[in-house]
Each structure stands twice: as C-alpha cells, then as structure tokens.
Amino acid sequence: MFIDQAQCLVRSGDGGRGVVAFRREKYVPMGGPSGGDGGRGGDVVLVGDPELATLISFQHRREFRALDGEAGGNSNRRGRDGETLRIPVPLGTVATDRESGQVLAEVLEAGQTLLVARGGQGGRGNARFASSVRQSPRFAERGEPGQQISLALELRVLADVGLLGMPNAGKSTLLAAVSAARPRIAAYPFSTLEPQLAVVRRDSREMVLADIPGLVEGAHEGRGLGNEFLRHLSRCRVLVHVVDAAGSEGRDPVEDFGIIEAELRYKSPELAARPRILAANKADLPAWEGHAPALRDAARDLAGFVGLSAAAGQGTEELVRMLLELLERQPPRLPLPGEQTEDVVVVRGGGRRRSVVREADGVWRLQDPTLERLSLMADLDNAEALDYLLAAVLRSGVDSLLRRVGVAPGDAVRLGEWTFTLGEDGKPAEWEAEPLPGEDG
C-alpha cells in the first residue's frame, strides 16, 4: 500500500446579481417592479469514480472553478444557475480543508458526491422587495460570492497488478515502458521491500502496477519467493508473469516459467489461482521465435499470453489492453478507508450561530450567517438597499444581544464589509462601508 497525496484549489460560482427593472405598459408611465433574481452559482463536488486508481490526474490540473450564476433579467426572468462542477476522484479519497485542517469526508462509493464548495445564492431582483409601503423598490441584491477552498486529498492505494518473474526477465523495463507516471509518495510501512510502482492511464481508466523485489539471486536454484514478497503480491487482483523468452544467458524460458509457477503453487495456492498473464519478453531477439510456441503452450491455463519487447515498446499496449479487460472482470477495487473518517459533510461557513466578538483593534464584530450574507449581497451604491439592510438588522432582534455583551451607544460594530454605529436608543443607526485596507478614510 502506498499513500497518494494531492492538493487543489476549488472555487464555487458566484451567484448572479438581481436586477432593477420596471414593467413597461401602454398608457402606464411606470409599471410595477419586474427585475428578476440572479441564478445560483455552481457547486463544486467530488464524485467517486471506480475507474480511477490514484490522484495522479491532480498533477496536471490543480484549479477548479464552477460557473457563476447568470444575472436576472427583465419581466421577472430568473438568471440561469451555474452548472455544478464535478471532479472525479478514486474511491477512498479523503478530502481535508487545508485551512481548518478539518476532514470534510471520504468518498467511498461509485457516483457518491461530496460537496466541497457551495455556489453563491443568486441576488434577489427588485420585484422581490416590493411591499405595500415600498411599491417601487429601486434596488436589487448582488449575488453571493462563491467559496474558495484549498483541498488536500489523500488516498491509500493498493496495486492492481503485480509483476513476477526471474531476475533479468525485464520487469523493471516493462514497468517503465507502460507507465504514464510514477506516484510521488511510495510508503510501505513495516516493509523492507520497496516495490516500484507505476500508474497506467488509458482514456479514463487507471491501474497501478507493482514490481516487488523479492526474487533473490539464486531464484533459479529455487531459493525463491519470500513471505513478504508473497504478502505484497496477494493484494494485487491480477498478476503478470514476465519471462525472458529469448533465453538469454543460456536459460530455458519454459523451465524458468515452470520454476516460478511451481513455487507459487507450493507457497500459496490462493495466489496460484489469481488470474495472470504470461508476458513473453524480449521478442526483439531472434531466439524468441524458437521458444515462443512452447511458452504459449505452457500458458494455456492462464488468463492470457502475449509476446512483447519491453525494451522496444512492442506489444506492450496489447498487454495493457488485456490487463484492463481482465481487471474489469474482477471484483471491484475496494476502497481502503482512511484513518480519520467522518461521515458528516461540513462545508465551511454553514451552521454557525450568532455571536459578537471584539476584534484586535477594539471594534466589535457581529457574526450572524444570515445578516452577513444580506450585507454581502447589499448593493453598495444604493441608499435604499442600505435602508433595507438596516431594517433587516433591526428586525433580527440583534440589539438586545449587543447590549448584553456591553456594546454602548456610539460604538462601532462591523457586519460583513459594513460598519454601523449603535444609536442612543441602542439600535443600529448609521451605516458606513468599511474602508478597504490601504484606502484612505
């Protein structure tokens, strides 16, 4: 087993803005408000994909951004929602929010989705703010910004395919010939053997190949397969037996094949029953022709036979194709669960309660998810929109909380990007946009 790790940045879409519009009717100078709502920004989700074996694809792409919601339109037309961005991950992937260190969840099933960044709400159009006392609202909301989250992904990986064969059969050469990438982190705890791993990617499918050292020199004399080697191999779903089919150094390929097969049956009947393919290597050498028919015959009980040259890269694609097909017919890869699993999906910012804190500069900050969102979506340039926001804060009954924690009249209180001053009556009075850092005022 090795641990594969990756990082990526995901950003959900912003909500579209609501618009200010009024109906135009014949003979009516100004009709009722008809500005539509903005669409929701797209979510970002991780999706369990059983065809993936590793996180290797994240080496090529590290940033993912979902589409924004569309702005609303006239005649109460609602803007289109941003599409959900689906990021395929292998089963068993554990996602962690890097900022908080919180484990978001683990994707364990095919098709299972894990919401990692929620799309922003669409802003409401002016039609939604109409009431008996405010018949022609001239303001609308901005869309809620999307969330940006830096994710750490982690996956425990088992090799799908194990290579075995005599020393110098060409296993290392074969591994290098078929691999698309080498996993960066290869950690085999409690093991003295360091398998070589390679990831093979074809279309959307992946498999992991392992070349496990373990056939000591002298394997030809039957000194053979160590227990640790066999334990590694037993976790592979499919095996490839590589033979030097040119009989280099005066060896007899059929005999080499027979020695290893007999060892396998003797040491582990369970492993001997594992589906495997005989790869008759070194087909570029003339001597190969003479040995191939007998090898093909010796392999008749196996799942397949392929002649190839690992060094020349001939026949290796045929082997890859056979392996992918063979794997497809095996029981599915079972996810290896991570250690710190939580099955609760937590998206940052959700479910927080209302609170008032004193910030480093002595100014109070009111934290309230609903009010913060309203303030974030308020149109900065519109006095009517601010009146609406003020009214919402008053309605929320937050003034008693402010009094309780000791906020005095005249004190400034922050809410989102805004600052208001508490009036003499203990109610929020004046609004002011919080100056951006670096700006004067």
Ligand X SMILES: Nc1nc2c(ncn2[C@@H]2O[C@H](COP(=O)(O)OP(=O)(O)O)[C@@H](O)[C@H]2O)c(=O)[nH]1
- Give residues in contact with Mg ion (CB under 5 A): 171-172
Question: Based on CB atoms, which residue is closest to ligand X, 50 or 213?
Answer: 213
Give me the least distance between CB of 309 and ligand X, in Å please.
Answer: 4
Question: Based on CB atoms, which residue is closest to ligand X, 193 or 380?
Answer: 193
The H or E element containing residue 428 is strand 428-433
282 binds ligand X (CB under 6 A): yes
Other beta carbons within 10 Å of 204 = 10
Give me the least distance between CB of 246 and ligand X, in Å please.
Answer: 7
Q: How many Cα neighbours within 13 Å face the side chain of 292?
A: 16
- Point out which span in 8-16, 167-175, 227-235, 251-259 binds ligand X (CB under 6 A): 167-175
3-state helix, strand, coil in the chain (%, to 5): 25, 25, 50
Q: In what order do the strands lie in the sheet with 103-107?
A: 63-65, 2-11, 148-157, 93-97, 103-107
Residue 135, judged by CB atoms within 10 A of its CB (0-12, 13-18, 19+), counts as exposed
Give me the least distance between CB of 172 and ligand X, in Å please.
Answer: 3
Give me the least distance between CB of 201 and Mg ion, in Å please.
Answer: 22
173 binds ligand X (CB under 6 A): yes
Measured distance CA(140)–CA(400) in Å, rounded: 29
Measured distance CA(248)–CA(242) in Å, rounded: 14
- Point out which span in 84-92, 162-170, 369-377, 415-423 binds ligand X (CB under 6 A): 162-170
Binding string, 112-151, against ligand X, x = CB under 6 A?
A: ----------------------------------------
Q: Which of residues 288-327 bind ligand X (CB under 6 A)?
A: 309-312
Q: Which of 57, 93, 281, 316 binds ligand X (CB under 6 A)?
A: 281
The H or E element containing residue 198 is strand 196-202
84 binds ligand X (CB under 6 A): no
311 binds, among ligand X, Mg ion, none (CB under 5 to 8 A by kind): ligand X
The two counts, helices (H) then strands (E), for the chain are: 9, 19
- Between β-strands 63-65 and 161-164, what pairing exists: parallel, antiparallel or unpaired? unpaired
Give me the least distance between CB of 209 and ligand X, in Å please.
Answer: 12
Which chain residues interact with ligand X by CB under 6 A?
Answer: 165, 167-173, 281-282, 284-285, 309-312
